[in-house]
C-alpha cells in the first residue's frame, strides 16, 4: 500500500510565510501518520516558478526569472530545514520545481494527450481561438466581470477584487480547453465520490459553481507576452498557461511523461494523491485539474482537501500594510517547532479560518505544552527518578497490598485507565483520519488531564513516605509512564521531536515514528527498565518579555538602525524579500546597491519619546531645505544631548513610515555590536559637508 500527499507548489515571486508553512505542516503530519502505519508514503511540496508574476518580480529585482526562483527556493530550503520539514528531518520526499527539465517533458506529454482528446460531447478538447479579456498577474488568472472592480476613471483598467491591483488587458491568440463540455462529467464525479472535495461546505460550493455552467479556459499565452514558461508542443509561439502547467506538477513529479521520475518514484506506484490546498485555490484543483485529467484519461486524485486561511487575532486578513503578518524568522527564533506545529493543528478547526497571533501562541504553548504535556512528562519522570531509583516501577498491586491502595484512593487494578486510554486513542485516530486535527488533539489532552488528575489525587509524594504504600506508588507511576508512552506514539505525527524526547525519557530505544498507534497495547512498557535523562520538554515562555523582544525584532526601526538589513522589495502577493530569513548570504550587484541613497547628515535636535524607551526622535540636516525627522532605536545607548552636532550617515530614500505617531523619514546607519546588537553610530574622521552622497 502507498500514499501520496501534496501541498500546493508556491509562487517563487515572494518569500515563504505562515500560510505556506501551515499547509506543509499539515501535509507533513499526515505523511508521518501514514509512515507510522507502515505505509510507503510520498510527500510533495515545491515551487511554481513560471509565469508573468515571476517574470515581473525578477525584473523588479534585476534578476533573471531563474535567478529569482533560485533565490526564493534557497529561502524555502532554509525554512523547511529550520522547521524540520525537509527530507533530512523525515519530511517531504521531493521539493518539486517546475523549472525541472523532467517537468517540461511530462507536462508536454500531458498537453499532447489533451490535443488528441475528445470531450464527452465528441468535440476537440483543445482548440485555438482568440482571448479577449482581463488577466490578474498575482492570481495568474483570467477575471470575469464579477471578479473585478470597475475603474474609477473610465479608460483605466479594472482592479482585481483579491489583490486590488490593476488587471492586464489580454487580446491575443490563445489555445482553449473546452471546459464547457465537462460540467456533466464533473458533477457525476462529485456525486459518485462524496469525499472527493472536502470539507462538505467546500464541496457544495464547487458543485454549485460547476452547475452554474462552465466557460472554456484559455490555456496558453503568446510567447511574446509571456516568455517565461513551458512552450506549447509543436507551437513554440505559445507558452502554456501557468496553472495548467503548475497543476501538472503533481503527476510529472512522480513520473508521468518522463522516464527519470518514473524510475525514481513511480507514477503507477503512488498516484492518486491527496491534494491539500488553501480554499483560495480550490477551484483550480477541484474543477480545472479534474477536467484536465478527465480529458487526458488519467485517474482522478484521491481527494482535494481545502483548509481555511490564517487571519490575525482580530479576524483581519494578514497583510504587510496592516503589519499583522506572522514572520517565519520570528517564529523560528522564539518558539519550538513542535509548539508551532501543535498550535497550527490545534487552533485551526480544519476547513475554517483560524486566528494566529504571537500572544495566542505563547498562551497555548504555556498552558497546553509547558503546564500540560511537558509538566506531566517531567513530573512523572522526576518521581520515577526520585522514588523508584530511576527505573520503571512494577505495574501491579498484589492482593496483600490492595487494602493499602484503596485507603489511598487508588484503583487497585488498571482497568479504568486502560479502557479510558484505548477509547481515547480510538477517538483520536478516528478524528485524525478525518483530518479533524483539532478534535484529535483535544482527545489527547483529555488523556493528559486525566493522568494529571490521577497523580494529583494519589499524591505520590505522600505515598513515598509510607513503607506500606510502595506498590501503590509504583502502580500510579507505572500508569503515568505507560500513558506517556501511548501519548508519545499518538502525538508523534504532530510533534515529532517532543514525542521522541518523551520516548527517550522513558528509556525506550525504539522510534515512535515507526509505531502504529492503533496497535498500542496496555502494559507493554517493561518494568525495571532505566529511564533516560529528565529534561523539560517545553520551557515556559515569559509572555511580556518575549512579546517585547518580538516587537523589537519586528520593529523596522530597530531592524534598520542596526544597519544590517538592506533588501530589495518584491512587492508580490505575499511576503516581501525584506522579510528575509536572517543570516542568508546572497550577493547583490552594483545596481542594487545604487538604489540605496546614503547621505551625510548632521544631527540638529534629539529627544526622547514618552513611553518608548528605545526610540529617539532626531532631526538631521542632509543638505535639504528642511531637516529630516528620523526615529532611531538607540535611546538605550545614546544620550540625546551627546548626539547634537554629530555627523552621521542617513539612508535618504527609505519609504517614510509612521511609528508611535511620528513619521520617520529615513534611517541612520549604525553597526550592530555583540549579542544584544548594541548600536554604534557610523561617523567620519574628516569633515564632510551635509548632504554629500556615499558611494
Provide the binding-site residues for ligand MSP, judged by CB under 6 A. Answer: 8-11, 19-20, 22-23, 48, 246-247, 277-278, 280-281, 309-310, 318
Alpha helices, DSSP H, located in 509-618: 543-554, 556-561, 590-594
**Is the CB of 277 or the CB of 404 nearer to ligand MSP?**
277
Cis ω before 272 (30° cut-off from 0): yes
Residue 476's Cβ-side half-sphere holds a number of Cα atoms within 13 Å equal to: 31
CB of 201 to ligand MSP, least distance (A): 17
**Among the options 317, 423, 453, 595, which is catalytic?**
317
Exactly one of 160, 238, 275, 307 is catalytic; name it: 160
317 is catalytic: yes
Q: Is 103 a catalytic residue?
A: no
- The string of DSSP codes covering 71-115 is HHHHHHHHHHHHTT-SGGGT--SEEEETTSHHHHHHHHHHHHHHH
3-state secondary structure of 435: coil
Pick between residue 244 and residue 431 the one whose CB is nearest to ligand MSP: 244
- 197 Rama class: left (phi>0) / alpha (psi -120 to 50) / beta: beta
| Minimum CB distance to ligand MSP, residue 327 (Å) | 13
Residues near 362 by beta carbon (within 8 Å), at least 6 away in sequence: 541, 543, 546, 547
Residue whose CB is nearest to ligand MSP in the complex, by number: 19
> Minimum Å distance from CB 268 to ligand MSP?
22
Q: Quick one: 5 or 397, whose CB is closer to ligand MSP?
A: 5
CB 318, min distance to ligand MSP, A: 6
Q: Is 388 a catalytic residue?
A: no
**Cα–Cα distance list, 201 to 194, 204, 207, 351, 533 (Å):** 12, 5, 10, 9, 48
CB of 664 to ligand MSP, least distance (A): 28
Q: Please tell me whether residue 561 adopts helix, strand or coil conformation.
A: helix
Exposed, middle or buried, 239 (CB in 10 Å: 0-12/13-18/19+)? buried
User: From CA 337, how far away is CA 359, in angstroms rounded?
Assistant: 16
Looking at beta carbons only, is 68 or 562 nearer to ligand MSP?
Answer: 68
Question: Which residue in the block uniquely carries the three cell numbers 525584532?
Answer: 553
User: Closer to ligand MSP at the Cβ: 274 or 454?
Assistant: 274
**Residue 201 CA from chain centroid, whole number:** 24
Least distance from ligand MSP to the Cβ atom of residue 139, Å: 8
Minimum CB distance to ligand MSP, residue 282 (Å): 8
What DSSP state is assigned to residue 596?
S
Examine the residue annotation and report whether 17 is marked as an active-site residue of this protein.
yes
By beta-carbon proximity to ligand MSP, the closer residue of 100 and 412 is 100
| CA distance linking residue 98 with residue 11, whole number of Å | 10
- Among candidate residues 279, 320, 500, 678, the one labeled active-site is 320
Residue 629: CB atoms within 10 Å: 16
Nearer to ligand MSP, 19 or 374 (CB): 19
Q: Which is nearer to ligand MSP, 218 or 531 (CB)?
A: 218
Nearest to 555 by CA among 612, 498, 481, 478: 612
Specify the residue, 8 or 257, whose C-beta has the smaller distance to ligand MSP.
Answer: 8
275 is catalytic: no
Q: Where are the alpha helices (DSSP H) in 506-650?
A: 543-554, 556-561, 590-594, 640-643
Rounded to an integer, what distance in angstroms lies between the CA atom of residue 544 and that of residue 374? 21
Tell me 17's DSSP state: -
Our answer to whether residue 423 is catalytic in this structure is no
We find the least distance from the C-beta atom of residue 440 to ligand MSP, in angstroms, to be 20
CA atoms of 326 and 357, how far apart (whole Å): 7
Label residue 486 exposed, middle or buried (CB < 10 Å: 0-12, 13-18, 19+).
buried
Q: Shortest CA distance to 420 belongs to which of 393, 389, 371, 454?
A: 454
Give the active site residue among 50, 103, 139, 238. 139
From 34, 50, 103, 136, the catalytic residue:
136
431 contacts: CB under 8 Å, gap ≥ 6: 437, 439, 440, 443
Alpha-carbon radius of gyration of the chain:
30
Residue with cell 511537558: 374
Q: Which of 66, 89, 163, 459 is catalytic?
A: 163
Burial status of residue 309 (CB atoms within 10 A of its CB: 0-12, 13-18, 19 or more): middle
- Rounded Cα distance between 465 and 463, Å, is 5
Let me know if 320 is a catalytic residue: yes
Q: Of 26 and 475, which CB lies nearer to ligand MSP in the complex structure? A: 26
Q: 289 Cβ partners below 8 Å, 6+ apart? A: 247, 275, 301, 304
Nearer CB in complex with ligand MSP: 47/159: 47
Comparing CA positions, the residue from 233, 220, 247, 253 lying closest to residue 112 is 233
Catalytic residue among 17, 34, 50, 103: 17
Are the beta carbons of 562 and 677 closer than 8 angstroms?
yes
Query: Least distance (Å) from ligand MSP to the CB of residue 289?
Result: 8
- Beta carbon nearer to ligand MSP, 48 or 338: 48
Locate 674 and state its grid cell.
555583540
The catalytic residue positions are: 17, 20, 136, 139, 160, 163, 317, 320
Amino acid at each position: 500500500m502507498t500514499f501520496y500527499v501534496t501541498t500546493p507548489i508556491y509562487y517563487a515571486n515572494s518569500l515563504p510565510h505562515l500560510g505556506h508553512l501551515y499547509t506543509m505542516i499539515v501535509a507533513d503530519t499526515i505523511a508521518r501518520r501514514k509512515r507510522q502505519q507502515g505505509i510507503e508514503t510520498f510527500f510533495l511540496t515545491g515551487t511554481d516558478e513560471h509565469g508573468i508574476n515571476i517574470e515581473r518580480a525578477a525584473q523588479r529585482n534585476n534578476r533573471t526569472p531563474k535567478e529569482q526562483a533560485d533565490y526564493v527556493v534557497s529561502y524555502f530550503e532554509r525554512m523547511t530545514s529550520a522547521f524540520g520539514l525537509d527530507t533530512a528531518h523525515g519530511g517531504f520526499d521531493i521539493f518539486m520545481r517546475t523549472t525541472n527539465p523532467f517537468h517540461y517533458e511530462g507536462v508536454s506529454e500531458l498537453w499532447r494527450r489533451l490535443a488528441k482528446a475528445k470531450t464527452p460531447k465528441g468535440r476537440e478538447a483543445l482548440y485555438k481561438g482568440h482571448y479577449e479579456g482581463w488577466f490578474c498577474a498575482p492570481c495568474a488568472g483570467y477575471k470575469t466581470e464579477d471578479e473585478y472592480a470597475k475603474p474609477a476613471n473610465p479608460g483605466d483598467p479594472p482592479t482585481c477584487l483579491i489583490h486590488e491591483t490593476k488587471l492586464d488587458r489580454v487580446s491575443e491568440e490563445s489555445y482553449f480547453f473546452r471546459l464547457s463540455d465537462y460540467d456533466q462529467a464533473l458533477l457525476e464525479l462529485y456525486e459518485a465520490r462524496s469525499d472527493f472535495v472536502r470539507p462538505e461546505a467546500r464541496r457544495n460550493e464547487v458543485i454549485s459553481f460547476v452547475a452554474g455552467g462552465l466557460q472554456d479556459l484559455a490555456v496558453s499565452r503568446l510567447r511574446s507576452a509571456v516568455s517565461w514558461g513551458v512552450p506549447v508542443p509543436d507551437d513554440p509561439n505559445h507558452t502554456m498557461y501557468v496553472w495548467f502547467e503548475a497543476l501538472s506538477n503533481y503527476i510529472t513529479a512522480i513520473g508521468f511523461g518522463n522516464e527519470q521520475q518514473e524510475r525514481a518514484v513511480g507514477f503507477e506506484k503512488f498516484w492518486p494523491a491527496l491534494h491539500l490546498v488553501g480554499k483560495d485555490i480550490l477551484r483550480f484543483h477541484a474543477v480545472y485539474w479534474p477536467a484536465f485529467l478527465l480529458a487526458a484519461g488519467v485517474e482522478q486524485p484521491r481527494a482535494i482537501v481545502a483548509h481555511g486561511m490564517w487571519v490575525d487575532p482580530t479576524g483581519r486578513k494578514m497583510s504587510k500594510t496592516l503589519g499583522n503578518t506572522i514572520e517565519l524568522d520570528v517564529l523560528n527564533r522564539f518558539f519550538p517547532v513542535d509548539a508551532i506545529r501543535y498550535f497550527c493543528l490545534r487552533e485551526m478547526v480544519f476547513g475554517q479560518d483560524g486566528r494566529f497571533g504571537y500572544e495566542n501562541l505563547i498562551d497555548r504553548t504555556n498552558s497546553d505544552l509547558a503546564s500540560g504535556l511537558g509538566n506531566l512528562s517531567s513530573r512523572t519522570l522526576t518521581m520515577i527518578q526520585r522514588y523508584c531509583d530511576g527505573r520503571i516501577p512494577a505495574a501491579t498491586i498484589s492482593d496483600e497490598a490492595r487494602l493499602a491502595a484503596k485507603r489511598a484512593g487508588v484503583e487497585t487494578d488498571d482497568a479504568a485507565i486502560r479502557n479510558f486510554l484505548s477509547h481515547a486513542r480510538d477517538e483520536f485516530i478516528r478524528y485524525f483520519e478525518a483530518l479533524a486535527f483539532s478534535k484529535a488533539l483535544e482527545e489527547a489532552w483529555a488523556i493528559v488531564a486525566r493522568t494529571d488528575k490521577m497523580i494529583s489525587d494519589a499524591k505520590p509524594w505522600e505515598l513515598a513516605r509510607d513503607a506500606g504504600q510502595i506498590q501503590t506508588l509504583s502502580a500510579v507511576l507505572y500508569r503515568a509512564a505507560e500513558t506517556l508512552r501511548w501519548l508519545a506514539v499518538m502525538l508523534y505525527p504532530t510533534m515529532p521531536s517532543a514525542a521522541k524526547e518523551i520516548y527517550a525519557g522513558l528509556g525506550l530505544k525504539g522510534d515512535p515514528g515507526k509505531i502504529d498507534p492503533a496497535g498500542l497495547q496496555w502494559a507493554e512498557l517493561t518494568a525495571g527498565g532505566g529511564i533516560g535523562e529528565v529534561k523539560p520538554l517545553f520551557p515556559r515562555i515569559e509572555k511580556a518579555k518575549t512579546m517585547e523582544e518580538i516587537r523589537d525584532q519586528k520593529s523596522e526601526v530597530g531592524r534598520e538602525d542596526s544597519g544590517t538589513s538592506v533588501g530589495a522589495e518584491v512587492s508580490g502577493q505575499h511576503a516581501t524579500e525584506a522579510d528575509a530569513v536572517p543570516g542568508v548570504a546572497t550577493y547583490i550587484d552594483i545596481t542594487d546597491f545604487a538604489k540605496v541613497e546614503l547621505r551625510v547628515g548632521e544631527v540638529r535636535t534629539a529627544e526622547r519619546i514618552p513611553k518608548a524607551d528605545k526610540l529617539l526622535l532626531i532631526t538631521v540636516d542632509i543638505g535639504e531645505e528642511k531637516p529630516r525627522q528620523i526615529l532611531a532605536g538607540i535611546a538605550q545607548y545614546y544620550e540625546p544631548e551627546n548626539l547634537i552636532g554629530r555627523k552621521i550617515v542617513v539612508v535618504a530614500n527609505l519609504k517614510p513610515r509612521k511609528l508611535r505617531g511620528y513619521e520617520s523619514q529615513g534611517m541612520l546607519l549604525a553597526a550592530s555590536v555583540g549579542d544584544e546588537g548594541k548600536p554604534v553610530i557610523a561617523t567620519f574622521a574628516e569633515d564632510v559637508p551635509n548632504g554629500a552622497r556615499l558611494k
